[in-house]
Amino acid sequence: MRLLDWAIIAAYLIYIVWDGVRMSRGNTRVEGYFLADRSLPWWAVGLSIMATQLSAITLVGTTGQAYANGMGILQMYYGLPLAMVILSLTAVPFFYRARVFTAYEYLERRFDARVRSLTSFCFLISRGLGVGVVIAAPSVILSIVLGWTETWTVFAMGLTTTVYTMFGGVRAVTWTDVKQMVVIFFGLSVCMFVILSKFPAEVSFTDALTLAGASGRLTTVDTTFDLTKDYTLWSGLIGGLFLMLAYFGCDQSQVQRFLTAKSVDEGRTSLIMNAFVKIPMQVFILLIGVMVFVFYQFVPPPMIFNEVEARRAATSLQSNDYNRLVGEYDQSHLLRQEAATQYIRAHKSGNAPGAQTAREEYIAADKTLNEARKRGVDLLKGTSGNESFTDVNYVFPTFVLEHMPMGVVGLIIAAIFAAAMSSISAELNALATATVIDFYRRHFKPEATDAHYVQAGRIATGCWGVFACVVALYSTSLGSLIEVVNRFGSFFYGSLLGVFVLAIGFPRARSRGAFWGLIFGVLSVWIASRYTKIAFLWFNVVGCFVVVIVGYLLSLTDRRTLVTASME
């Protein structure tokens, strides 16, 4: 990187930390620190909700996923608009009028303290693991840019964000989210413009879409009803709906966002904003990854994007095999490049039979290249001993560093940092809120002053920041980061949703049913992940239904339920 790139990144990081700490002035009240005195406008809350979900995982993992496999992952979000409508009509007015700090605080009023504690504990575990993955994404980039070990980059990224979150509270989190979203959208727009400008002169955006479509990377609907496939129309509409209901309605990092709104109507509007904006935004980000794929039709892509692992394989005992595969891969690229050029020319000529033949030749050449890359990845798995190795997380940062002009590199890396810091800060703040409100104030120090709880919140934020950094050290080896974070969440989200369904939708449900239903729900998801091949989005459906069924049946055996039924 050039000096200008470093200057842009440094200026951004310094400003964000300063701005966040600046907002800590006068932040001594519990409601002010954790809920911004319920005073924020809908558009700021809506942008904060988007920023919390739009992490660096989205920019790094999703673009790499689109490069490798296309836009099929978009199907995961098809249930989101309906989820936003449902939650705006139910969860927002329900939690807002209950005047709670956390979603789980209500469960004590409905059931008892142990249900509240167990649900909050499940949130803490799932979100604590999730924020570790969020920290890992920008750390991948820093390790490439700086040549540092991932240990150093993880703690540099995680602890920097922890500092301003500790002092500023949710108000600082929200307003820095707004500014970070501006940086993200601007950076992504510039990125797309630069990618398109680097295509050969005879290749237009329409031609790029033609190539991407032929390779299957524009497929966004798979109507196959297959529970083992990660992304289909049905897993998105059903499993995705349950995931989004749980994430936005039961996860404190999201519930806390709309609880900071000025009113119920403004909280609702913030969610509806996400219903309309989230999928188009995701399409744009995925399209960037697809355009990177098209760019590499005409510029030789590395067989392995993780440069460190590639060098290790090139100097290992199997270096001869590796170098032979690199040669095969480079030759396959030349053949694919020629096939892509011929296909575009034939497509423009209007000669349908010739275009169809050229299309088939291009598809065959692309398949040959992918097979060569797969052999290289398999060889690297053997040399590294890491069977889950994938380098999709390195595709986008490698492209940025090698092919973006000076200044744009710094801008895009700053955008990735913005995405990471917005999610990290929001989630750390939510973790601290649940820790202090649901455990510390409830069980250990119920009569302390506001200043004491604010200080406890800052300490909790720092502790969770360190914990997340430790998790991040192990996250990059688990696969595509966008999938890893959703897998972590899916182990708990459906079961948490089931408890709230019991609480709100089943008047006869009792605490014993909710408590044991949640335990059985989490166990059922673990069993499903261990002994079946169903896709992770369906875990949310499994967990929710098991909690509701087990919880309701156990509640029917409760004496209070029997008495209530006999009086009806």
542 or 138: which carries more pLDDT confidence?
542
- Return the pLDDT at 85: 92
Q: Is the domain of 94 the same as that of 71?
A: yes
Shortest CA distance to 423 belongs to which of 178, 184, 177? Answer: 177
Quick one: pLDDT band at residue 480, thresholds 50, 70, 90?
low
Is 413 in the same domain as 288? Answer: yes
Best-predicted range by mean pLDDT (20-24, 38-42, 357-361, 533-537): 357-361
Least confident of 49-53, 183-187, 503-507: 49-53
**Under a CB-based contact definition with an 8 Å cutoff, are residues 80 and 214 in contact?**
no
Same domain? 383 vs 406: no
Mean local confidence (pLDDT), 540-544 = 91
d(CA 97, CA 93): 6
497-532, pLDDT tens digit by residue? 999 999 988 988 999 999 999 999 999 988 988 888
Task: Classify residue 30: in a domain, yes or no.
Answer: no
pLDDT of residue 447 exceeding 70, the answer is yes
**pLDDT attached to residue 464:** 92
What percentage of residues in the chain have a pLDDT greater than 90?
23
29 within some domain: no
Task: State both tokens at 88.
Answer: 């705006």
Answer whether residue 198 is part of any domain: yes
Q: Is 2 helix (H, G, I), strand (E, B) or coil?
A: coil
User: Are 323 and 274 found together in one domain?
Assistant: no
Cβ-proximal residues to 406 (8 Å cutoff; 6+ apart), any chain: 2, 4, 5
Residue 209: predicted pLDDT: 92
What is the CB neighbour count within 10 angstroms for residue 182? 12
**Cα 354 to Cα 345: distance, rounded to the nearest angstrom:** 10
Whose CA is closest to 289, among 485, 486, 60?
60
- pLDDT of 141 > 70? The answer is no
Verify that 129 and 176 share a domain, yes or no. yes
- The answer on 8 and 108 residing in a single domain is yes
Domain-embedded: residue 526:
yes
Count structural domains, the chain. Answer: 3
pLDDT of the residue at 288:
93
Query: In angstroms, rounded to a whole number, what is the distance separating the alpha carbons of residues 467 and 154?
Result: 11
- Kindly state the average pLDDT of the residues 378-390: 72
Bridge partners, residue 40, by sequence = 261
DSSP 17-53: HHHHHHTTTT--SHHHHHHGGG-B-HHHHHHHHHHHH
Residue 512 and residue 444 share a domain: no
**Is residue 26 very low, low, confident or very high in pLDDT (cuts 50, 70, 90)?**
low
Where does the pLDDT of residue 567 fall: very low under 50, low under 70, confident under 90, or very high at 90 and above?
Answer: very low
Q: 28 in a domain, yes or no?
A: no
Q: 427, 453, 481: which is the final residue of a domain?
A: 481
Give yes or no for residue 489 having a pLDDT over 70.
Answer: no
Q: What is the rounded average pLDDT of the residues 306-328?
A: 82
Q: Are residues 453 and 541 in the same domain?
A: no
Who contacts 76 (Cβ-Cβ below 8 Å, separation ≥6)? Answer: 231, 235, 236, 240, 243, 486, 537
288 within a domain of the structure (yes/no): yes
Residue 38 zone, left/alpha/beta (φ > 0; ψ -120 to 50; rest) = left
Contact 498, 545 (CB under 8 A): yes
CA neighbor of 438 nearest in space, from 245, 252, 215, 214: 252
pLDDT of residue 562: 45
Give the distance from CA 14 to its chain's centroid.
25
> For a pLDDT cut of 70, what percent of the chain falls above it?
91
Which of 553, 485, 536, 502 has the alpha carbon at shortest distance from 132? 485
Does one domain contain both 187 and 292? Answer: yes
Determine the Cα–Cα distance for residues 559 and 563; give it in Å rounded to an integer: 6
**Residue 425 domain flag:** yes
pLDDT for res 518: 92
Whether 294 has a pLDDT exceeding 90, the answer reads: yes
Average pLDDT of the segment spanning 164-189? 82
The tokens for 333 are 């690229």
Among 388, 411, 440, the domain boundary falls at 388
More confident residue, 476 or 81: 81
Nearest alpha carbon to residue 253 among 424, 420, 138, 88? 424
**Residue positions counted in the chain:** 568
> Could you tell me the residue range of the domain that residue 542 belongs to?
491-568
Work out the average pLDDT over 1-15. 82
Assess if residue 146 is contained within a domain.
yes
Q: Is the confidence at residue 537, as pLDDT, over 90?
A: no
Co-location of 497 and 472 in the same domain: no
**Same-domain status, 467 and 512:** no
Q: Name the residue type at position 53.
A: Q
**22: pLDDT strictly greater than 80:** no
Contact of 158 with 128, CB cutoff 8 Å: no
Rg (CA), the chain: 25
User: Which residue among 417, 446, 481 closes a domain?
Assistant: 481
Averaged pLDDT of the chain: 84
If asked whether residues 442 and 364 sit together in one domain, one would say: no
Most confident of 23-37, 93-107, 553-567: 93-107
Most confident of 153-167, 168-182, 304-318, 500-514: 500-514
Please name the residue ranges forming H helices in 385-407: 395-403
Specify the CATH number for the domain of residue 168: 1.20.1730.10
Q: Which residue has the tokens 């909790």?
A: 460
* pLDDT top residue among 388 and 76: 76
Q: What is the mean pLDDT of residues 47-59?
A: 77
Flag whether pLDDT at 395 surpasses 90.
no
pLDDT at 513: 92
